[in-house]
Structure 1
Amino acid sequence: MAFFSDTVSAQPQAGILSKVGASIASAFSRIIEAQDRSHEVRRLEALSDVQLAEMGIARQDIVRHVFRDVYGI
């Protein structure tokens, strides 16, 4: 004869709540960082093609350049 016992904890799992909270905080952090970088994109877009070329950046690559560490480019 086999016996089976299953108990369920009535306490909420702090791990799940912690993960949700961390995900929300991470999302807000990425939004704030993206807004900070948008200033850099605008600054570079205001430069002439010659100035960008001196920096080694093509106009169509400005966004890629600013976010290169995020996308691993």
Structure 2
Amino acid sequence: MEEQWDVYLTDEVDQWLHDLEKADPLSYVLVNQAIWILACHGPAEGAPSGRSDQGIDAAQPQGASSRIGGAE
């Protein structure tokens, strides 16, 4: 069995996911699946598919409030 990565979410991301669950349950499921894949495979899985010109900043998050993944 492969080692599972710990994925920590900032408070802002945690709140966004909570809001997304209410507003768009299907998108919430898809985002959670993507986070689960990250936890299972780590960064070796690569960047998500999509537009590369969205100007996303890759800075390290500051602080963490939630852990998504399997066993602790």
Same fold per TM (> 0.5)? no
Normalised by the length of structure 2, the TM-score is 0.28
Higher relative contact order (CA 8 A, sep 6+): 2
TM-score by length of structure 1 reads: 0.27
Query: Going by fraction, where is strand more abundant, 1 or 2?
Result: 2
The answer to which structure has the higher helix fraction is 1
